[in-house]
Amino acid sequence: MKRHLILFLSIFVITLPGKVTAAYHVPILIYHSIAKYSGTGSKELYVTPENFEKQIIYLRDHGFTLLTFEHWDEAVKVKKPIFLTFDDGYKNNLNVLTVFQKLETREFKPQGTIFIISGFIGRPNRLSREDLIRITHSGLISIQSHTATHPDLTKSDNLTYELKNAKEIIEQITGKKVIALAYPYGNTNKQVIIETKKYYSFGLTTTPGPYTPFGAENELYLLPRTYVKYSTTIEDFAKIVEVK
């Protein structure tokens, strides 16, 4: 009787819909500057190109599949999916493209997403229109939205401008659809999500941890991301990405 009960429970758990059968974990990493620290700004928001390259090599050698949000649905189909994101559109994010192109092979395609503040495009330390076109044409990096002026959206009285205007400007430059928004400072609330859903398919926070689907309301607009920092060792990096 006991063996029959165990067998029944095993079959029941395996065939449960939704949460149990669909449960998987997807790391979404957040970077800012890919450069040597120059003494300006927060040191922890930098990752040196050398360390970044080591991290991409780790992902390559440990069987990860790097994705962008245009290929979100592939996360359930590929081996060890992971998303790399870069906020603010700093000029030094060109180092991301350099590393990706260096490591790209027929078997391994490094990819990532840069979230651009549309009103900052072309500033001395930010990516220019020409940079964005070049990056887009590489086929390795997706350009998405980080709003028009980088306000705390939960305190903004002009959400339409911040969300819609930024999307339209970036799309005009790259010729590609903008479908994802990284909330400035990671801040969002119910009203911000309502407005975000009018223009985007994804909203990203800075809440740490991997994405695990549970079928919760608006979970694609509350995507978590884990920081990779200046002090992150390759051992730390392995612990971040090797989620079970």
Q: What is the pLDDT of residues 94-147, one digit of tens each?
A: 999 999 999 999 999 999 999 999 999 999 999 999 999 999 999 999 999 999
**pLDDT for position 108:** 98
**pLDDT for position 8:** 35
pLDDT band at 24 (very low <50, low <70, confident <90, very high): confident
Residue 115 maps to a domain: yes
Least reliable range by pLDDT among 87-96, 128-137, 170-179, 210-219 = 210-219
Q: Which residues contact 3 (CB under 8 A, 6 or more apart)?
A: none
Residue 4 maps to a domain: no
Residue 13 maps to a domain: no
**Which residue would you say has higher pLDDT here, 85 or 10?**
85
207, 75 in Cβ contact below 8 A? Answer: no
**pLDDT for position 182:** 99
Backbone angles phi, psi at 84, to 5 degrees: -110, 125
DSSP state letter for 223: B
| Strand segments (E) across the chain | 28-31, 33-34, 46-47, 65-67, 81-87, 112-116, 141-145, 180-182, 202-204, 226-227
Least reliable range by pLDDT among 53-57, 91-95, 109-113, 213-217 = 213-217
**pLDDT for position 175:** 98
Residue 153 maps to a domain: yes
**pLDDT for position 19:** 39
**pLDDT for position 44:** 98
71, 65 in Cβ contact below 8 A? Answer: no
Rounded to 5°, angle at Cα 142 from 158 and 207: 60
**Which residue would you say has higher pLDDT here, 17 or 183?**
183
Average per-residue pLDDT in the chain? Answer: 92
Percent of the chain with pLDDT over 70: 91
Q: Which residues contact 107 (CB under 8 A, 6 or more apart)?
A: none
**pLDDT for position 23:** 66
Q: What is the pLDDT of residues 121-130, one digit of tens each?
A: 999 999 999 9
Is 232 a residue whose pLDDT tops 80?
A: yes
Mean pLDDT to the nearest integer, 189-206: 98
State how far the Cα of 104 lies from the Cα of 117, in Å rounded to an integer. 27
Q: Which residues contact 30 (CB under 8 A, 6 or more apart)?
A: 85, 86, 87, 204, 206, 225, 226, 227, 228
- Enter the tokens of residue 171: 């799309």
Domain that includes residue 32, residue range? 25-241
State how far the Cα of 3 lies from the Cα of 151, in Å rounded to an integer. 60
Provide the CATH number for the domain around residue 97: 3.20.20.370
Residue 16 maps to a domain: no
Mean pLDDT to the nearest integer, 141-165: 98
Nearest by Cα to 165 from 176, 178, 182, 152? 178
Mean pLDDT to the nearest integer, 7-20: 37
Domain count, the chain: 1
